[in-house]
Amino acid sequence: MSGNSVTGVWYGRWASDDGAVEPNRFIALLEEQGGAISGTVSEPDRGGGPPVHATLRGARSGGAIHWIKQYDGAGPFAHAVHYSGEVRDDATRIAGTWQFAHYSGAFVMERETFSAEELAEEIVLEVPVA
């Protein structure tokens, strides 16, 4: 496993093993410091309401990562979900499983990364030419 940090914006989706919970997508903002993981998650409310928010706290050791996502709402959005997964070597993909109560399933999250050369090319393309 390389030393690539998981700090950044991640786009993901999750689904339940048995279809008991409707699949959903999410955006997560992760921060990694010395193996500790923290962050926030936002996902659409499948009922049509405003987005649902959660915080997460966990840890990473090499390629293994785990966290607890705690929803900050009331009612059905007040529970915690345990996530466990593997970080890809280039730290652009995390995949694994989630579980709460008697529900469980799989998740995957990805992010785009850009090399210094790609970022320099973008800047060059945006600079007006006289």
Sequence letter at residue 4: N
- pLDDT tens for 24-55 read 999 999 999 999 999 999 999 888 888 899 99
Instruction: Report pLDDT digits (tens) over 77-108.
Output: 788 999 999 999 889 999 999 999 999 999 99
pTM: 0.81
Q: What span, in angstroms and rounded, lies between the C-alpha atoms of 45 and 51?
A: 5
Q: How far apart are CA 31 and CA 9, in angstroms?
A: 9
66, with CB counted inside 10 A (0-12, 13-18, 19+), is middle
Q: What are phi and psi of 116, to 5 degrees?
A: -60, -35
Element (H, E) at 80: strand 80-87
**Among 14-18, 48-52, 112-116, the least confident range:** 112-116
Q: Which residue has the higher pLDDT, 82 or 76?
A: 82
- In CATH terms, is domain 8-126 a member of 2.40.128.120? yes
For tokens 């705690």, the residue is: 70
Helix (H) or strand (E) holding 48: none
pLDDT band (50, 70, 90) for residue 120: low
Q: Where are the domains of the chain?
A: 8-126
